[in-house]
Chain A
Amino acid sequence: MSSHTTSPAQGPLRGLAKDWSSDKDAFKNVSWGKTMMWIFLLSDTFIFSCFLVGYMSVRMTSTVEWPIPSEVFALTIGGHHIPLVLIAIMTFILITSSGTMAMAVNYGYRRQRKKAAILMLVTAFFGVCFVGMQAFEWTKLIVEEGVRPWGNPMGAAQFGAAFFMITGFHGFHVSIGVIYLLIVALKVLRGDYEQRGYEIVEITGLYWHFVDLVWVFIFAFFYLW
């Protein structure tokens, strides 16, 4: 153990060099499962980046006006026309779910498995809400506004393709995340991890926080631009 920890005298860079030059095992004290989840998330980062960069390219090259997201995604609630309101609510739901997930990880490590499982189920519930609202948004866009991947009545034809691909892929991640959360939560509740410990909750949490993280970028680049 003591050989793995970096003493302050060595400094962070010396520790980094030592870890990487130590043969076979570069990530000390990081379990296999967590390392693999991080590497998966890293690859996923590149996929989402490619989508967003592709979207940036078509939007910058288009000589036709890009539809204004603020107006496309506005809703009229109780007679008030509020721009982007549904997206704002979806953002808050996702952040709330990230908070409950962080709590679940914390309770998992405290070995309070009922609380951890319940918080994970709450997180999954918020995830379902998010996907439901996205389904509503897609329906509204397709049926009422006539947005198609190859064109739309509001402006640049690439809007639909970029929107459906980026939010669709993100929504797919949320849906998979909900299933993943439900499976792990039920196993936690059943006591399957009493022997092995509750790092699995943290690994599941990494995936869920990543989904929230991607939404931060989608919100900034797709909806606020």
Chain B
Amino acid sequence: MEHQANTEGQQHPIGIYFKIWGLLFVLSTCSYLVDYLEFQGAIRWTLILVFMFLKAGLIVAVFMHMIWERIALLTAILMPPLCILVLITLMASEASYTNLNRLMFFQ
């Protein structure tokens, strides 16, 4: 069986999945509490983003096995989405400009 090495890949102790599972529950509860306890302003956004990235990171790293993959695959999959940050920046600045125009000329 020359493919044996391949088919046995990504075997990890089951305990790590339970730990991450529990952590995801805690983080989800935290992000729900951000809304429930009515945090507002900068603290709200900071908490939402922190919990979001922690959850996303745990899912990709452990559940999707990214930390155990080769760096060639990791970079190929995780680097391109960084372009989206550029799109977000451009669209956000454009959106505030449009909003300003609407407020000045159409209100």
Answer whether residue A127 sits at the interface, using C-beta atoms and an 8 A cutoff: no
Q: In the complex, are the beta carbons of A202 and B10 less than 8 A apart?
A: yes
Number of interface residues of A (CB under 8 A): 62
Q: Please name 29 pairs of A and B residues whose Cβ atoms are closer than 8 Å in the assembled complex, sorted by A.
A: A19-B72, A20-B72, A27-B73, A29-B5, A29-B9, A38-B76, A53-B88, A53-B91, A56-B88, A61-B98, A63-B102, A63-B107, A70-B35, A84-B32, A84-B35, A84-B36, A88-B28, A99-B21, A105-B10, A196-B3, A199-B7, A205-B63, A205-B64, A209-B60, A209-B64, A217-B56, A220-B49, A223-B35, A224-B48
Q: Which of B14, B28, B36, B95 contacts A57 (CB 8 A)?
A: B95
Answer whether residue B87 sits at the interface, using C-beta atoms and an 8 A cutoff: yes
Min CB–CB distance A26 → chain B (angstroms): 5
Q: In the complex, are the beta carbons of B24 and A61 less than 8 A apart?
A: no
Q: In the complex, are the beta carbons of A209 and B73 less than 8 A apart?
A: no
Given A19-B70, A20-B72, A213-B56: A95 touches B21 (CB 8 Å cut-off): yes
Q: In the complex, are the beta carbons of B59 and A212 less than 8 A apart?
A: yes
Residues from chain A with a CB closer than 8 A to the CB of B10 are 105, 109, 202
Q: Please report which residues of chain B, range 56-81, place their CB below 8 angstroms from some CB of chain A when the two chains form the complex.
A: 56, 59-60, 62-65, 69-73, 75-77, 80-81
**Besides the contacts A27-B76, A202-B10, what 7 more A-B pairs have beta carbons closer than 8 Å?**
A30-B70, A53-B87, A53-B88, A102-B21, A109-B11, A199-B9, A213-B64
Given A106-B12, A202-B65: A83 touches B5 (CB 8 Å cut-off): no
Given A19-B71, A49-B81, A197-B3: A88 touches B59 (CB 8 Å cut-off): no
Rank and list the top 4 A-B pairs by shortest CB-CB distance, nearest first.
A197-B7, A60-B95, A19-B72, A99-B21
Q: Please report which residues of chain A, range 84-103, place their CB below 8 angstroms from some CB of chain B when the two chains form the complex.
A: 84, 88, 91-92, 95, 98-99, 101-103
Min CB–CB distance B64 → chain A (angstroms): 5
Min CB–CB distance A34 → chain B (angstroms): 9
Residues from chain B with a CB closer than 8 A to the CB of A210 are 64
Beta-carbon nearest neighbor of B39 in chain A: A224
Interface centre among B17, B18, B107 (most CB of A within 10 A): B17
